[in-house]
Chains A and B, each alone.
Chain A
Amino acid sequence: MSVIYVLLAISITVAILFFIAFIVSVRSGQYDDSYTPSVRMLFEDELVKTQVGELPQEFDIEKEHTN
């Protein structure tokens, strides 16, 4: 079999895999709200035990998790 069939098969398979990934992500509602996740990713576990104004430290976050 000619190599061209192999190459075509590979390229089309890869293309179709990406296409399926696209369909799955649309179906799961990923494109329904394109704004909120962009804000949400900026939040950390910012629970403040101490005074307001102090930067939340990693130590505090760990303590929250162990509670």
Chain B
Amino acid sequence: MDKVNCYHCGDDCGRTLIEFDEKNFCCNGCKTVYEIFSSNDLSYYYDIQQGAGATPAEVEGKYDFLDTPAIVERLTEFNDGDLQIINLYIPHIHCSSCIWILENLNKLNPSINSSQVDFPEKTVRITYNSIKTSLRDVVILLSRIGYEPYISLDDFDNDKKSKDRSLIYKLGIAGFAFGNVMFLSFPDYFDLSSSAETGGEFWLNQYENVFRWLMFVFSLPVVFYSGAGYFVSAYKGLRSKILNIDVPIALGILVLFVRSTLEISFDWGPGFFDSLTGLVFFLLLGKFFQQKTYSFLSFERDYKSYFPIAVTRIGKEGKEESVQVHEIKKGDRLLIRNQEIIPVDGILISTNARLDYSFVTGESEPVKKVSGDKLFAGGKQVQGAMEMEALKSVSQSYLTQLWSNAVFKTDKTTRFQTITDSIGKRFTIGVLSIAFLASAFWGYQDPSKVMNVFTAVLIIACPCAIALASPFTLGNMLRIFGKKKFYLKDTQTIEQLAKIDTAIFDKTGTITTAQKSTATYEGMPLTAEEESLLKNTLRASNHPLSRTLYTMLSEQNIITLDQYDEHLGQGLEARKGADHLKIGSADFVGNPEHNNTLDTSVHIANNDDYRGKYIFHNQYRAGVSEVFKSMEETLSLAILSGDNEGEKSRLEALLPKLTPLYFNQKPKDKLSFIGSLQAQGKKVMMVGDGLNDAGALAQAEVGIAISENINVFSPACDGILDASKFTELYPYILASKKAMKIIKLSFVLSLAYNVVGLYFAVTGQLEPVIAAILMPLSSISVVGFTTLMTNILGKKLK
């Protein structure tokens, strides 16, 4: 039978096919969305892109907190009288259908004035009448049509950031001035050696000064606005006694400007305004190219972007009220509904709860808790509603405390010297010594040329091409990696990646997959009847372990059970003919051995006769063994897991011999482990996935988060790797190393140009036109070289 795909979301309908209006749906949720759309003349949604929708989530009571005026005030972008504007992040936005439906929201709710989608950012800006409708209604409407917005504590705490567009302005001004100065230089280009006395063009010579002073005016904003960043950076570098690459650049800009101004003031020559504006323009172009950002990803997330804004508190009289999470105090009774996240550490009051800590640890298997158990913040309730008592406030909870560590406050960029800066030091010293040597020589030969030669050396040696090599190489690599689903925060991360010698991996969720797990059977073999009964019993159960086991067991005929009982938190009981099967925990089944293994297992007994158990294992990602084997050649590896040692023997078999394995690591332990490696001079890459790795990711030179779905969540890191590309991690590291080689090669290339230029400068023959040709030529050839080489490199990557 062919697969039937849902008309709304495009998923396989599986066993639960719902037919409606001659179309197939996988669930009632999808059907409902279709009904909403088709009854509001919005079925064009399905014509733009097939199966574009998402199954709507349950939202009963989830957004009640949006009725609190204080919260609405913080979330909305604009709130005045009856008009409110809100910018909502909707992870599901992925195609043109999404844009179309979201921009037609006012057909579904007439009180919405307008809505505008920003596709790269995955946000929608909704303007609505707050008297006729409310933020809560808008959010519920979005959720009902499968576009549930993601509202977290981060939205509440963060002040609205205004976009930094200064680089575009600087680039625009430099480009504008560059073009105009080039035009104004034309008279000088065509009339190079002639002046009024020698019979050059009359009108050009007559108005020479007008052209020159206009060029001067155009260069002013370029030097003092566009180029200001280089002076600031050079000054900062000198103050902390570092000769970074911006020192020779700032020196070059300054000398160009001063010498050109003096030249036109005393009518010595036309000046170098074309080179000056061109230089700044090219340099800023490099910066602009380097500034690739993945606006739909965030590399700065902490627990706040994961935690809810408000939860339900149960007051003394049993009254439910929405309370902002920062206001939760010790002793508060909280109601956590299905799919809600526990914001603070506390004690469970309800009889039992099932918590999914996958965001924290990467472990996909929900944990069972019973009344009186301690609950840690960050878990998601996945089984009905529960009540708990808060023991701590949000910022003092076990998990959130991690963020008070100093490592989250220091900026990584300040701890690292880039390849361009390290060459900048030698370059500056070299250029300055050449300049002084040449001046000394000319001071002896022809003192009138000393200033000319000295400034010419500084002008021609201005390391434009060197400063461009790294931004264009790494910027292009960043784009190539991005296409391969390896998203890096900035170009510096590639430099860091090329230097690492140690790679540390988290276990759960990083080298294991979140979705599947496998199980092996240990014990007496089951008879055919028992296997059939087992499968049929599991069929009825909704417990995650039952479902995993069900899909794993071989296909059996469907039989009707004589009796079926589910004992919550214990196991299943089923009867068919003479067989009486008990499936579940060791105690429930009556396991004769005292059971204290660390594994997750399901035990089986027939007629109180113990048969055996299914032991569940984490499913390791395909190719983990190969990845480690190839990495081991150049890197030292280790596993850092927050779990117990249950998987130790399997890991040892899978990984290269003597790979250090560390278990029971708390989030803080991971952080300090990385720190101790760094103290030994190691350059560490940490690969993790959950919030518990956040400290280690921040501490490591390179922190990479593995993510099954890059839109959902990943902790603060330097790079996000799509889980499907896990096996490519090592080739990516090697590619980074090669990219650094490309940069070094282009340094050689640009130095060659500098040698040619220095010949003219040192011999005192530097004409403005030579500078004007040499500088763009060297820059363009370096940019062309790096772009070509990185593209060749990118072709080889998968």
Contact = CB atoms under 8 A, between A and B. Distances in A.
Interface of A: 2, 4-5, 8, 11-12, 15, 19, 22-23, 26-27, 29, 31-36, 39-40, 42-43, 46-49, 52-53, 56
B214 interface: yes
B210 A26 contact: no
B165 A26 contact: yes
Given A4-B203, A19-B173, 14 more contacts: A2-B207, A11-B183, A26-B165, A29-B163, A32-B163, A36-B99, A36-B116, A39-B99, A39-B119, A40-B117, A46-B100, A47-B41, A47-B42, A52-B38
Interface in B82-130: 96, 99-100, 103-104, 107, 116-121
A52 B207 CA distance: 71
Interface stretch (B43-51, B140-148, B416-424, B727-735): B43-51
Chain B's interface size range is 20 to 34
Contact of A8 (B120, B169, B214): B214
Contacts of A32: 118, 163
B169 A26 contact: yes
B62 to A, nearest CB: 28
A12 B180 contact: yes
Interface of B: 38, 41-44, 46-47, 96, 99-100, 103-104, 107, 116-121, 163, 165, 168-169, 172-173, 176, 179-180, 183, 203, 207, 210, 214
**Interface majority SS (helix, strand, loop, mixed), chain B:** helix
Contacts of B41: 47-49
B118 A31 contact: no
Contacts of A27: 165
Given A33-B118, A39-B96, A26 B46 contact: no
Contacts of B96: 39, 42
Given A4-B203, A12-B214, A29-B163, A19 B172 contact: yes
Closest 4 CB pairs of A and B: A36-B119, A46-B44, A47-B41, A33-B118
B99 A40 contact: yes
Given A4-B210, A47-B107, A33 B119 contact: yes
B160 to A, nearest CB: 14
Between B42, B44, B117, B121, the greatest number of chain A beta carbons within 10 A of the residue's beta carbon is seen for: B44
Nearest to B218: A12
Contacts of A36: 99, 116-120
B210 A15 contact: no
A64 B38 CA distance: 16
B403 to A, nearest CB: 30
A12 B183 CA distance: 11
A4 B207 CA distance: 8
B207 A26 contact: no
17 contacts: A4-B210, A8-B214, A12-B214, A15-B179, A15-B180, A23-B172, A26-B169, A33-B121, A40-B117, A43-B103, A46-B47, A46-B100, A48-B41, A48-B43, A48-B44, A52-B46, A56-B44
B107 to A, nearest CB: 7
A10 B203 CA distance: 18
Contacts of B117: 36, 40
B346 to A, nearest CB: 42
Nearest to A36: B119
Contacts of A2: 207
Contacts of A47: 41-42, 44, 104, 107
Contacts of B180: 12, 15
Contacts of B107: 47
A29 B164 CA distance: 11
A19 B169 contact: no
A33 B120 contact: yes
Contacts of A49: 41
A48 B117 CA distance: 22
B203 to A, nearest CB: 7
Nearest to A3: B203
Nearest to B21: A52
A52 B119 contact: no
A41 to B, nearest CB: 11
Given A26-B169, A47-B41, A49-B41, A35 B119 contact: yes
Given A15-B176, A39-B99, A40-B99, A52 B47 contact: yes
Nearest to A2: B207
A33 B38 CA distance: 30
Nearest to B118: A33
A27 B214 CA distance: 27
Contacts of B168: 26, 31
A50 B262 CA distance: 77
Nearest to B204: A4
Contacts of A35: 119-120
Contacts of A29: 163
A56 B45 CA distance: 13
Contacts of B203: 4
Nearest to A56: B44
Nearest to A18: B176
Nearest to A44: B44
A35 B583 CA distance: 55
Contacts of B173: 19
A27 B169 CA distance: 9
A9 B133 CA distance: 56
Contacts of B176: 15, 19, 22
A15 B176 CA distance: 8
A16 B507 CA distance: 59
A11 B731 CA distance: 54
B287 to A, nearest CB: 16
A13 B120 CA distance: 36
B218 to A, nearest CB: 9
A53 B46 CA distance: 10
A56 B165 CA distance: 41
Contacts of B118: 32-33, 36
B142 to A, nearest CB: 17
A35 to B, nearest CB: 5
B401 to A, nearest CB: 37
A65 B100 CA distance: 18
Between A5, A12, A49, the greatest number of chain B beta carbons within 10 A of the residue's beta carbon is seen for: A12
B317 to A, nearest CB: 49
Contacts of A12: 180, 214
B119 to A, nearest CB: 4
Contacts of A40: 99, 103, 117
Nearest to B42: A47
Contacts of B44: 46-48, 52, 56
Nearest to B211: A8
A33 to B, nearest CB: 5
Contacts of B43: 48, 52
Nearest to B203: A4
Nearest to A43: B100
Contacts of A48: 41-44
